[in-house]
Chain A
Amino acid sequence: MSNTPPTPDHELPRTHYLNATYGSGIRSWLLTTDHKRIALLYLGSVTVFFFIGGVFATMIRIHLLTPGGALVTPETYNKLFTMHGVAMIFFFLIPSIPAVLGNFLIPLMIGAKDLAFPKINLLSWYIYIIGGCFVLYSFSTGGLDTGWTFYTPLSSVYSNSAVTPAVIGIFINGFSSILTGLNFIVTIHTMRAPGMTWFRLPLFVWAHYATSLVMILGTPVIAITLLLAGLERMFHLGFFNPALGGDPILFQHLFWFYSHPAVYIMVLPAMGVVSEIIPTFARKPIFGYSFIAGSSIAIAVIGFLVWAHHMFVTGESTYAALTFSFLSYVVAIPSAVKVFNWTSTLYKGSISWDPPMIYALGFIGLFVIGGLTGLSLACLGLDIHIHDTYFVVAHFHYIMVGGAVMGYVGGLHFWWPKITGRLYPETLSRAAAITLFFGFNLTFFPQFILGYLGMPRRYHTYPPEFQVLNVLSTAGASILALGYLLPMAYFAWSMRYGRVAGPNPWPATGLEWRTASPPPTENFDVTPEVTWEPYDFQNRPDLGLAADAPSLAPAHGDD
């Protein structure tokens, strides 16, 4: 079905990053400075947090099967959705694509031997682990019941849960993000191979450049904000508590100044992944390269100016609300530009139905729904009604799970042969992608209707008229869970039993495919030189494709 050329049987290279240098003992992993190994350390640790967050999500959905709540007490339910959010956002979604795929691929894609600061890269991982330990300590000693948004004065005064270790953990973890962003920016500026000009960079790299800007400029704000909330809680310093002269609205401004751009930390890299997959499996240059690259930067910049659209009903001034609503509509445009360009790339392509392509198209479908429903939330008059309802929950899951996670899993499928040297079962993985797509829609689409009907978010119990839609959502979640467990199973299987992939199984045009799979520790035997334009399949005889074979239709000058 996929119609990829029948690949000759390959053999794994004798030495590669997984078995070279120090051997494969535990010490060789914990002290490694190889960006590829660090990426795998992240892969393991973000998967742990994904599991933890996923278990909480499962319990939430089971609990909401009945109006009165089927499973846990109100206190426990509040902890479940809080810990679900904290684990998923700060310790899975934000690091997932940048720290795993970005770490692995950016040096390979630009023809470098490693990131600019390999030791700092390892340090980032240790900081992430230390931050994660604080948060797990909070989860296991009293839990956390403030909501992932930590709104004051609930978090700083009234909550009886383990808020302090959690905010310390997130504060620490922020430095991991900052250092990763810094490492990427310096690497992209200074370590590109000869011939790798800015406009020959893969769009994945552009997306990570934009993401890194957000990480560096935004993360310090959330770190200090949560620290202030922690100080207020521990030492009764009045920053946000009105009884001490503070202002709870100030917290929200500071919190969303980071946490809105953080959405772009999650989704921009996923857009980068999709911008790689689509031209590869349509076998043609991406349509509107410079517009897709530019829109990443536009999203990162304008994304910093929309934060108070989370606060339209806090009583903020009408003029502020008008400004932030306007800017929120403006930031929608670059995302739309990307979708139009991806769709146009398919036109007159040679489209294969390989699993990564199914994931990428699934991403577009879910991201379009998530993005378009954002237009409803940005609308001032409409937001009065749907703010803080399940409509919001559905919207951001479409962006962050439908979008970012679909992109992440799709990216793992695309680069898995490069990471491990082996292929996974094709039919099974295509089935998993379709299961994910339908399971996701069944889980979250009913929540749009629930929200419009008026069901507020974060409710452990709800009026009986909301039950049917909640049951549908839970049914969808069980399909969704299967869609996530399948790839974990066959990825694990493939590491030992999968067919050997060879250096460039799809084939794709990027530099990362011009070295062995898995790559050697130094990435390339000789420093590569780039002489081709990005995503150009026509002038690449090395790909073994029918460059001069008769095309599907005569190529007209301007179509």
Chain B
Amino acid sequence: MQSQLPLYPEQASNFAPHVDALMVFITAVCLFFAAAITTAIVVFFFKYHRKAPNAVGIPIDEDSRLEATWMIVPLILAMAMFSWGAIVYVDYRRAPQDTLDIYVIGKQWMWKAQQPNGLKEINELHVPVGRNIRLIMASEDVIHDFFVPAFRVKMDVVPGHYNTMWFRPTKPGRYHFFCSQYCGTNHALMGGWVTVLEPSDYSAWLSGSSGGNANPVVAGEKLYAEKTCSTCHIANGTGRAPSLNGLYGAQVLLADGSTVAADETYIRESILQPNAKIVAGYLPLMPSFQGQLTEEQILALTAYIKSLQSQPVPAKGSGIAPPTGKR
């Protein structure tokens, strides 16, 4: 660790240096103003201490130029803070393409993580150093929040939503993660450790202990049959519902003429509230699976549908929007 009384946590992700630099910048500006105001008050307090019991102060007229100055200068500095902070935030909210995706489920009061090969962990998360990691997160019950101070990142985990967050670990080690959205009795115990491994150690760890864990794609394929999804969503496009081949990541044309990107959120919504967005040319026939699937099952189905991305898209009977000039 660092000194006995550190002022900031370890820097262990791509975001940490940026967030710390922002903090230093804002704190420096604030210290300047706080020092200026405090000095002025202390100096005036003693210098203009009442000299005689009946003395009055000297009135000074309002000065619009002075007022304008101390509105405009702080506003410019505030806009600098806003812009720099916005740059870091936009980067944080837009994950790069080549991420290693890990599913995370929060429930009172534990975290479950599932690696791409199906390996599950509880209150632990293993990631390789130097890779862009994306966490796709869902909650079984109330709102939680996944927070890794050493990475300077957090994101709420909201029931009924998928939230994602990404980071690139830069330093192997073990770092605390916490639940930082109050979630009931054992909120403070709902944490664990992120272990950042060298890529080779990560591979060894993955293969060394992956036995006995179902691959989410396999589990999803089984569910897809069990829940009779396949009776309507026929792969060759002849069913009552669109084929899901090639769906993930594509643009879907909806009945109202708009298009939507088929990401995890869209797939989730289409399973739970199928009538929210109807694909053009299809009827709103699909029943809702709200309450009939656990979060893990939804994740498995999503993983299976994502795996169909590479399957051939039928010419007819797919919801995918015809390519336009833009795409």
Contacts and interface: CB of A to CB of B under 8 A. Distances in A.
Interface of A: 2-6, 74-75, 78, 145, 147, 149, 151, 153-154, 157-159, 242-243, 245, 247-249, 282-285, 287-291, 312-315, 318, 321-322, 325-326, 329-330, 332-333, 336-337, 339-341, 343-344, 346-353, 361, 364-365, 368-369, 372-373, 375-376, 378-385, 387-389, 449, 452-454, 456-463, 465, 468-469, 536-538, 544-547, 549, 551-553, 555, 558-559
Contact of A346 (B45, B61, B185, B290): B45
A274 to B, nearest CB: 12
Given A321-B89, A372-B30, A453-B9, A346 B41 contact: yes
B27 A249 contact: no
A313 B154 contact: yes
Interface stretch (B72-80, B216-224, B296-304, B308-316): B72-80
A283 B56 contact: yes
Most chain B CB neighbours (cut-off 10 Å) among A288, A289, A460: A288
B60 A315 contact: no
Contacts of B202: none
B158 interface: yes
A343 B40 contact: yes
B8 A452 contact: yes
Given A153-B141, A545-B56, A349 B5 contact: no
B143 A151 contact: yes
Nearest to A155: B142
Contacts of A462: 188
A287 B89 contact: no
B49 to A, nearest CB: 6
Nearest to A557: B61
Contacts of B48: 282, 346-351, 552
A532 B58 CA distance: 17
Given A247-B160, A325-B85, A381-B85, A318 B188 contact: no
A381 B22 contact: yes
Most chain A CB neighbours (cut-off 10 Å) among B22, B34, B185: B185
A78 B92 contact: no
B145 A388 contact: yes
A-B CB proximity, top 5 nearest: A454-B149, A242-B160, A381-B88, A284-B57, A380-B89
Interface string B162-185: 010000000000001011111111
B8 to A, nearest CB: 6
B279 to A, nearest CB: 21
B183 A384 contact: no
A364 B41 contact: yes
B155 interface: yes
B187 A459 contact: yes
A337 B70 contact: yes
Given A287-B62, A387-B154, A351 B34 contact: no
A169 to B, nearest CB: 21
Contacts of B163: 314-315
Given A344-B66, A537-B57, 11 more contacts: A6-B53, A291-B62, A312-B89, A322-B86, A337-B71, A368-B34, A379-B85, A380-B89, A384-B19, A384-B92, A384-B152
B75 A333 contact: yes
A553 B30 CA distance: 33
Interface residues of B, number: 93
A158 B182 CA distance: 12
Contacts of A78: 182, 184-185, 187
Contact of B60 (A287, A372, A380): A287
Interface in B18-71: 18-19, 22-23, 26-27, 29-30, 33-34, 37-38, 40-41, 44-45, 48-63, 66-67, 70-71
A290 B62 contact: yes
Contacts of A378: 81-82, 85
Nearest to B15: A384
A75 B185 CA distance: 5
Contacts of B142: 151, 153-154, 157-158
B47 to A, nearest CB: 9
A384 B26 contact: no
Contacts of A381: 18-19, 22, 84-89, 92
A285 B59 contact: yes
A351 B45 contact: yes
Interface string B89-102: 11011100000000
